[in-house]
Amino acid sequence: MELSGPRWKGKNCAQIANSKPMSEIIAQLQICLSNSESAALPIGTDFLLETVPELTDLLNRTSFGRQLKTSNDRKKCFQLSPEETFYLHHSLKCLKVSINNANLIDVNLWNYMRSRNELFPIYYRAYMHLRSKNWVVKLGTKNGVDYVVYRHHPALVHSEYAVIVDWKKEKGEKEGERLRVWSDLHCAIRACNGVAKAVLLLNVMGYEVTFSLPELLERTTVDEMQITRWLPSQCRDDCQLEGNNG
Amino acid sequence: MATVSKVEGETRRRRKGKERGKNQERSRKQNSFLLEDDSEEIYFNPFQPSSPNSKKEGNTRRRRKGNERGANPVRSRQQNSFLLEDDSDKIHFNPFLHSPNSSSSSLYGSQIRTEVSKARWVEEIGMAEVIEKVNLGNERTEVSKARWVEEIGMAEVIEKKGSMWVTTGVIRNSKLYCHIEEIGYLAEIGALVLFDEGDNVMGLRDIYTKCANRKYGCSWESFKAYRHLKSLGYIVGRHDQPWSLKHNKINPNSGSTADTDLLAGRIEELQIDAANLIFDIHRPNSKFKKTDPGNPSFIIFLVGDRPPSRKEVGLEKKCKSVPLKFCHVSHDNVSFFSFPKVSLPVLP
């Protein structure tokens, strides 16, 4: 589908977003979180972080995690996904993570994440790729995909892309692990077209199961590809083909 | 064939202004279905100066007030055309509304005769009296004739009627020939009668069988794709086959352009089966000339029973100047995909 750029949710939203670039807010979050004493604790498959008002506000503005509804006026609880937790900890270097009363750092936290989900490295690589470009990344479960990405805060703009992460199980494999049968493709397109999102396929290239964290970061790349469906009945007259392939 | 009913469907679903007034209840329900409650989260806006728990904002936002809708007419039109995807809600022919022998079967729309004249045989005079004369605007009085030539796997058009031959068939040495998929499509709509070499009429069943018989460069899937695109008005020709040639060759290799050379080169390089490139498509164009067709608008790559492999998808990436569409023909559906490379911008 041809998306004509971001779809803002209201008249001022573009203005707000332009005046408050995500990178700036994230920088503020980094400072605030570094100075905070709060550490994230594992809770189920997620991580729980207790926050004070300033931190609450910044986490909301950068759209990390979900704020849990509590009656407590000052202290709030945030639920962070494993990718968000590791990103804040490792890439942004501002979050402390405490498991069984011990602060886990870098490699140890990495191993902990891996032990709970063998696909964590792949998904993290994709998450990191998107977040480092300052896109806001949320889980895409409701749309039947891995992630949905927003140009800025989800309250200001509709998401433009629904992301599917693909990888090869082993180096010698010809095809990726996802989109193996036609209904996978049709399903992704169908689900996303209904909510006006384009499907973005992120291929994590060069991944090997044995990779350590540094190897993952140095030796894998992420390839971006859109999956579009062409509707001949809607494109007869003067649709720009060059535009479609852009 | 389904063009007419699809057009009807679209008009119905577009719900023009006055209709919207009548069906406010239904359109609100339908809208809320599309903006399904749990597929689009209501995000509390942390950038609002008002109270943090302004969940009301979300609800108001979603109702999309009149003036906001006006502000984005282009976008909502695009969004609408996006949501009204042509085959997401198929119009089904209701077989319970017609008796088996009813002549008013509107299954295929206006391209096949829906109204038939009636005559009663009068044995006495050895003639039939026409009791119901149906005068159709689109009645096909012009039926072309073609004769199958097994040697070349094509039919020679012996009686050419109608304007569709501008965009159908190939010219070889001043004679007009057509491929089996073209015959199949024209025969279906009643525009062509095919004769075999013994001058016997070949029925649709025989024509379909020939389509599916891969001996003639066609397959059942490629025929379905051909039919789908033709019925939407596109100009469809076999890939890399010139529309018109003066010398007496039926399957020549000449007529290639820089683009198709590039494509051919990449195919060899990637070791992809070139037989998958089936059609060159031109957009509907009243000025189309077989002697100078220009570059195709796109080229169709027919994919098999699994989604295209990484190599095949890579072909599109490597041949950016040649618009490639990957075609999937299933039992009841023809769909086209494209896998353009993108580069998500780094945002501020």
Longest CA–CA span in chain A (Å) reads 65
pLDDT in tens, A20-52: 999 999 999 999 999 998 999 998 889 999 998
Provide the pLDDT for residue B41.
Answer: 64
Instruction: Provide DSSP, A163-182.
Output: EEEEE-SSTT-SS-SS--SH
- Tabulate helix, strand, coil % of chain A (nearest 5): 40, 25, 35
Can you say how many angstroms the Cα of residue A226 is from the centroid of all Cα atoms in its chain? 17
Mutate to test the interface with B, among A138, A171, A178, A245 (most CBs of B within 10 A): A245
- The reply to whether residue B88 touches residue A190, judged by beta carbons under 8 angstroms, is yes
Q: Is A150 a catalytic residue?
A: yes
Cross-chain Cβ contact B78/A2 below 8 Å: yes
Q: Which of A129, A173, A182, A199 to mutate to test the interface with B (most CBs of B within 10 A)?
A: A182
Q: Is residue A40 included in any domain, yes or no?
A: yes
Residue A68 lies in a domain: yes
Q: Is residue A219 part of a domain?
A: yes
> A84 CA to chain B: closest CA distance, Å?
18
**Per-position pLDDT tens, chain B of length 348:** 444 444 444 444 444 444 444 444 444 444 443 444 444 567 788 887 654 444 443 444 444 444 444 444 444 444 444 443 444 455 667 777 766 665 444 454 444 555 677 888 888 878 888 877 765 555 566 899 999 999 999 999 999 988 889 999 999 888 999 999 999 999 999 999 999 988 899 999 999 999 988 889 899 999 999 999 999 999 999 998 889 887 654 444 444 566 667 777 777 777 777 778 889 999 888 888 888 888 888 899 999 889 998 888 888 877 777 789 999 998 888 999 999 888 999 999
- The conformational region for residue B278 under phi > 0 = left, psi -120 to 50 = alpha, else beta, is alpha
Q: Kindly name the residue from A9, A20, A96, A158 that is annotated as catalytic.
A: A158
- What is the model's pLDDT at position B247? 63
- Would you say B323 and B264 are in contact if contact means Cβ atoms under 8 Å apart? no
Distance separating the N- and C-terminal Cα atoms of chain B = 50
Range of the domain at A129: 13-234
> Residue holding tokens 């055309």?
B81
Strand partners, B324: B299
Q: Is residue A4 assigned to a domain?
A: no
In a domain, A79, yes or no: yes
Please state, for a pLDDT cut of 70, what percent of chain A lies above it. Answer: 93
B253: exposed, middle or buried (Cβ count in 10 Å: 0-12, 13-18, 19+) = exposed
Q: How far is B104 from chain A (nearest CA, A)?
A: 26
Cβ contact (<8 Å) for B330 and A194?
Answer: no
Q: Would you call A71 an interface residue with chain B, using a CB distance cutoff of 8 Å?
A: no
Domain CATH number, residue A28: 3.40.1350.10
Task: Residue B317: count other Cβ atoms within 10 Å of its Cβ.
Answer: 14
Q: Is position A240 within any domain?
A: no
* Per-residue pLDDT, B256: 52
Asked if residue A175 is part of any domain, the answer here is yes
Q: Do B46 and A153 touch (CB under 8 A)?
A: yes
User: Which residue in A150, A153, A161, A207 is the catalytic one?
Assistant: A150
Which residues does chain B have within 8 Å of residue A245's beta carbon, measured at their own beta carbons?
Answer: 320, 323, 338, 340
Nearest to B180 by CA among B145, B128, B215: B215
ipTM of the complex: 0.82
Q: Is residue A165 part of a domain?
A: yes
Task: Say how many domains are in chain A.
Answer: 1
Q: Which of A2, A231, A246 sits opposite B86 (nearest CB)?
A: A231
Cβ distance B46 to A2 less than 8 Å, yes or no, reads no
Question: Which residues lie closer than 8 Å to A184 by C-beta, 6 or more apart?
Answer: A178, B307
Q: What pLDDT is attached to residue B63? A: 43
Set A152, A153, A197, A207: catalytic member: A197
- Give per-residue pLDDT as tens, A41-96: 998 889 999 998 899 999 999 999 998 887 777 788 999 999 999 999 999 999 99
- Model pLDDT, residue B257: 61
What's the confidence (pLDDT) of residue B113? 57
Q: What is the CA radius of gyration of chain A?
A: 19
Active site residue A186: no
Report the percent of chain A where pLDDT is more than 90.
58
Minimal Cβ distance to B323: which of A23, A227, A241: A241
